[in-house]
Structure 1
């Protein structure tokens, strides 16, 4: 599972609260999250994707109609495909859903367990974590010209030495620019930074 640089503590805490897995879709724009993280079983993810449940999921429907936190069992949205019943068969009997942010940049988080309902304190903590992650993954409005140039050349397929030569800087200076771009985009690798920059329409 990929991570978001600088937010390991929060993700570890969310993981501890989600023994049957969690899902995070951060800053959903034009139906697609800019960042997606999930720890649900691969079998469930494959089943969910194969059946295109994302457009039928009552939790997603709730999250786009409400903001806040709720137990899955308290979300009274029709589930004609019995997605929640199937989730229980995969070990996700109980859960909470969190929705935050404006409709144009909504973040959704779900956390699940197999043994009991979440108590109020656990619900509040999951909500706090999702809201914190939403805030910390807010896409930057821009990159510096130096960051854009460095990422752009690597995105175009140039090796570090060639990109540095094109910019008239040393290879170590290029690496500094790439590192600063990765940090600004909360990316662990340059490839991930390039993809996020494209998703954010910064490249």
Structure 2
């Protein structure tokens, strides 16, 4: 796929994900050695700041689950693993109906944490999220070999 086409495809998929996840998402793509190659977040800045200031990534049960599993899980199912109160803090910041989907080998995992207002995600919405995240994971595979301009363009994308 040509570089501009790849950037356009990623942009389109991020926009689709944004439409489903109206209260935000975090998408850590191709995590290697605990660091994502690409990170997209649409959560409110207040939550991003709160999460970062408290070092929640180190204790976030959603992150831990995604690093050790593939598939999907509701955040509520991880509450017994949330000793630091990450999930109640997320809810207090307006992140409801949390669901996580992880794909890829442990050496290059992609994790999506998604939320929406209103009712919980439907099965059809979850299937669409899976399709989008799987496609993003595949499109960005081999990121290190992309032209520097393509890497910069992908890193500069925002999902807002």
Give the TM-score category using the shorter length.
0.7 to 0.9
The alpha-carbon distance between structure 1 residues 43 and 142, as it changes in their structure 2 partners (threshold 3 A), is closer
Aligned pair partner of 2:68 in 65, 70, 77: 65
Q: CA RMSD in A?
A: 2.1
Shift of 1:9: 1.3
Question: How do 1:45-124 residues align onto structure 2 when only pairs under 5 Å count?
Answer: 45-75=48-78, 77-124=80-127
| CA–CA separation in structure 2 for the residues paired with 1:14 and 1:138 | 19
What is the DSSP-based 3-state SS (H/G/I as helix, E as strand, rest coil) of the residue aligned with 1:80? coil
Larger radius of gyration: 1
Unpaired segments ≥5 residues, structure 2? 1-5
What is the DSSP-based 3-state SS (H/G/I as helix, E as strand, rest coil) of the residue aligned with 1:94? coil
Shift of 1:139: 2.2
Deviation >6 Å, runs of 4+: none
TM-score (norm 1): 0.68
Match of 2:21 in 1: 18
Contact 2:79–2:87, Cα closer than 8 Å, also in 1? no
Q: Does 1:182 align with 2:125?
A: no
Q: Does 1:32 align with 2:46?
A: no
| CA–CA separation in structure 1 for the residues paired with 2:36 and 2:115 | 20
Unpaired segments ≥5 residues, structure 1? 144-179, 194-203
